[in-house]
Amino acid sequence: MSLASYRTLGRSGLRVSPLCLGAMTFGEDWGWGAGVDESTNMINSYVEQGGNFIDTANIYTNNHSEKIIGDVMADNSSLRTQLVLATKFANNVFPGNPNTGGTGTKSLITNLEHSLRRLQTDYIDLYWIHSWDFLTPVEETMRALDNAVKSGKVRYIGISDAPAWKVAQANTMAWFKDWTPFIGLQIEYSLLQRTVEDELVPMALELGLGVTPWSPLKGGLLSGKYNRSNNGKVNGSRMEARGGNVSLSEKQLAIIDGLERIAQTHNTTPAAIALAWVMGKPGVTSTIIGVRNVKQLQDNIAATDAHLSADETASLDKLSTPPLTFLAEYKDLIPMIQHGGIEINGIKPPAAPFLADMQPGKY
């Protein structure tokens, strides 16, 4: 596999690389990102290796991320056609203004115009809702997004950080009203965040949404920098710059140990193995990587060459299995009750013990 092994995103014809270059680290305005020159080098290196998918947001590094990308594209006019450019709205970048946050029509139009200006482009390839707004009617948001597509200023739309039931409601409404539906779902997904497998990932598979995980290394915890020897303390890390204190649990350390063992077998890094695990999960189309320099970019791209065996994947699955939610736990019981001991679609669970003496027609 390589960055040029393109996949279609969800139920669409949009071709994207298996690794998406996340731009939350473009700009030093938040105290831990990359400078303009290094950000430019990362974009150029990513593109030279076949990458075509860049993801940013209006709020990243106080708008600077979008400006950096726009300047790079302005210096190389051929990049705009080559790149799949994604940005987001909903989070408020105008403090004190109640109508520049959320997903209302006024907020959407205002933020879209500002993003287009900073990115120095006439259109956005993929416009994401950054986080769901529970105050705005879903029909208003979907109508406004459809109008943005019809205007030519947006090509496709996606949704990030929203409950499965709301995404399903929105897309069902869009289909019935002949509006533009979401084609992508952006969610946090990693060996340390698997609760999305309960409802969000199955929903994406059912509705034809391409999953684009963010924070696949859990903010750097799975990058290889954190281990038992340093007990989660890494000088100069993003966690430290943001004032966070890392205290690794025994389960987290066991996952990191497992990554290190498999990485040694493949002669690669724990980060590459953690990324390869995410990239291989059902529904995942393009995994978003957030890096601060070209070396980190190369370390992450190495994941495209890491091919995990079924046993290696299973061992990481076992180490990282989260506590079951109600639906996930109950799901194992359902076939026992419904199948009646019969094999259906290759699944033959034992009959539920309390139904063993069932006598049809007795009553």
User: Catalytic site residues?
Assistant: 60
Residue 326 neighbours by CB distance under 10 Å: 8
Please name the residues in contact with 334: beta carbons below 8 A apart, sequence gap of 6 or more. none
Residue 20 region by backbone torsions, left for phi larger than 0, else alpha for psi between -120 and 50, else beta = beta
Q: Where are the alpha helices (DSSP H) in 34-163?
A: 36-48, 64-75, 78-82, 105-119, 138-150
Q: DSSP assignment, residue 244?
A: -
* Count, residues in the chain: 363
CA proximity to 338, closest of 348, 329, 328: 348
Around Cβ 205, how many Cβ atoms within 10 Å? 13
DSSP string, 271-323: HHHHHHHHHTSTTB--EEEE-SSHHHHHHHHGGGG----HHHHHHHHHHHPPP
Quick check: helix, strand or coil at residue 142? helix
User: Which helix or strand (DSSP H or E) is residue 164 part of?
Assistant: helix 164-177
User: For residue 144, which of 135, 131, 157 has the smallest C-alpha distance?
Assistant: 157
